[in-house]
Structure 1
Amino acid sequence: MSRELLVRPRIRPRVAVVLVYTAAMCMNGLDATIVNPALFAVARSFGEPVAAAGTVETAFLVALAAALPVAGWLGDRLGTKRVFLGSLALFTAASAACGLAPDLGTLVLGRAVQGVAGGLLTPVGMTLLFRTFPPHERVKLAKVLVVPTALMPALGPPLGGFLTEHLSWHWLFFVNVPVGVLAVLLGGFGLPPRSEAPAGAFDVRGFLLATPGLGLLSYALGFGPSLGWTAPAVAVSGVLGAGLLVAAVRDQLRSPEPLLRIRLLSDRVFGAAGLLALLTAAGLMGVLFVFPLLYQAALGASALDAGLSVFPEALGLMLASQAVDRLLPRTGPRLLAAVALPVAAAVCGMLAVPGVAESAWAVRGLMFCVGLVLGTAVLTVQIAGFADISPADTGQAMGLFTIVRTLGGALGIAAGAAVIAGFGGSAAREGSPGPYRAAILLTAGFVAVSTLVALRLPRDAPAPPPLPEDDARSPAVPGEGARQ
Structure 2
Amino acid sequence: MLSPRIAVVIVYTAAMCMNGLDSTIVNPALLTIARDFDAPVSAANTVEVAFLVSLAAALPVAGWLGDRFGTKRVFLGALALFTLASAACGLSQDLTALVLSRVVQGLAGGLLTPVGMTLLFRTYPPHERVKLSKVLIVPTALMPALGPPLGGLLTQHLSWHWLFFVNVPIGAAAVLLGLVGIREHVEGTEGRFDLTGFLLATPALGLLTYALGFGPSHGWTSPSIAVSGVLGLALLVAAVVHQLRAATPLLELKLLADKVYAVATGLALLTSAGLMGVLFVFPLLYQAVLGASALDAGLSVFPEALGLMLASQVVDRLLPRLGPRLLAAPALVLAAGVFAALAVPAVAESAWAVRGLMFLVGLVLGTAVLTIQIAGFADVAPPRMGQAMGLFTIVRTLGGALGIAAAAAVVGALGESGDAHGGAEAGPYQAAILVTAALVALGTLVALRMPREAPAPPPFDDEVPEHEAAESSA
> 1:454 pairs with 425, 447, 453, which one?
447
Cα distance in 1 for residues equivalent to 2:76 and 2:462: 38
| Bigger-Rg structure (1/2) | 1
Task: Report how far residue 290 of structure 1 moved.
Answer: 2.6
Task: Report how far residue 298 of structure 1 moved.
Answer: 4.1
Name the structure 1 match of 2:62: 71
Task: Report how far residue 29 of structure 1 moved.
Answer: 1.6
Name the amino acid aligned to 2:45: G
Task: Report how far residue 392 of structure 1 moved.
Answer: 0.7
Contact 2:319–2:327 (Cα < 8 Å) also in 1: yes
> Any idea what the Cα deviations from partners look like across 1:326-345, whole Å, max 9, x if unmatched?
11111111110122111111
Contact 1:216–1:240 (Cα < 8 Å) also in 2: yes
> Any idea what the Cα deviations from partners look like across 1:70-90, whole Å, max 9, x if unmatched?
001111111111100110111
Q: Secondary structure at the match of 1:259?
A: coil
* Count of matched residue pairs: 461
Name the structure 1 match of 2:210: 219
Task: Report how far residue 49 of structure 1 moved.
Answer: 4.8
Cα distance in 1 for residues equivalent to 2:56 and 2:276: 16
Q: Secondary structure at the match of 1:445?
A: helix
Deviates more, 1:73-82 or 1:294-303: 294-303
Task: Report how far residue 301 of structure 1 moved.
Answer: 4.2
Q: Secondary structure at the match of 2:271?
A: helix
> Any idea what the Cα deviations from partners look like across 1:203-254, whole Å, max 9, x if unmatched?
1111111101101111111222233323332222112111111111111111
For the pair 1:435 / 2:428, whether they are aligned, the reply is: yes
Cα distance in 1 for residues equivalent to 2:463 and 2:390: 37
Task: Report how far residue 47 of structure 1 moved.
Answer: 5.1
Cα distance in 1 for residues equivalent to 2:322 and 2:433: 30
For the pair 1:234 / 2:225, whether they are aligned, the reply is: yes
Cα distance in 1 for residues equivalent to 2:431 and 2:155: 35
Deviates more, 1:253-262 or 1:229-238: 229-238
Q: Identical aligned pairs, as a percentage?
A: 75
Q: Secondary structure at the match of 1:354?
A: coil
Task: Report how far residue 319 of structure 1 moved.
Answer: 1.1
Cα distance in 2 for residues equivalent to 1:127 and 1:470: 21
Contact 2:204–2:235 (Cα < 8 Å) also in 1: yes
Q: Secondary structure at the match of 2:275?
A: helix
1:295–1:468 CA distance, 2 compared to 1 (3 A): closer
How does the TM-score come out when normalised to structure 2?
0.91
1:306–1:448 CA distance, 2 compared to 1 (3 A): same
How does the TM-score come out when normalised to structure 1?
0.89
> 1:349 pairs with 340, 343, 347, which one?
340
Name the structure 2 match of 1:313: 304
Cα distance in 2 for residues equivalent to 1:63 and 1:89: 17
For the pair 1:144 / 2:144, whether they are aligned, the reply is: no
Question: Residues 455-470 of structure 1 correspond to what in structure 2 (within 5 A)?
Answer: 455-467=448-460
1:136–1:353 CA distance, 2 compared to 1 (3 A): same
For the pair 1:395 / 2:401, whether they are aligned, the reply is: no
Task: Report how far residue 57 of structure 1 moved.
Answer: 2.4
> 1:362 pairs with 353, 358, 362, which one?
353
For the pair 1:92 / 2:66, whether they are aligned, the reply is: no
1:456–1:210 CA distance, 2 compared to 1 (3 A): same
Task: Report how far residue 370 of structure 1 moved.
Answer: 0.9
Cα distance in 2 for residues equivalent to 1:226 and 1:73: 35
Cα distance in 2 for residues equivalent to 1:256 and 1:275: 25
For the pair 1:183 / 2:183, whether they are aligned, the reply is: no
Cα distance in 2 for residues equivalent to 1:322 and 1:278: 24
Contact 1:351–1:363 (Cα < 8 Å) also in 2: yes
Cα distance in 2 for residues equivalent to 1:348 and 1:236: 34
1:167–1:446 CA distance, 2 compared to 1 (3 A): closer
Deviates more, 1:63-72 or 1:309-318: 309-318
Question: Residues 266-277 of structure 1 correspond to what in structure 2 (within 5 A)?
Answer: 266-277=257-268
Name the amino acid aligned to 1:287: V
Contact 1:73–1:199 (Cα < 8 Å) also in 2: no
- Structure 2: any 5+ residue segments left out of the alignment? 465-474
- Structure 1: any 5+ residue segments left out of the alignment? 1-9, 472-484
1:426–1:455 CA distance, 2 compared to 1 (3 A): closer
1:122–1:199 CA distance, 2 compared to 1 (3 A): farther
Cα distance in 2 for residues equivalent to 1:437 and 1:164: 27
Q: Secondary structure at the match of 2:132?
A: helix
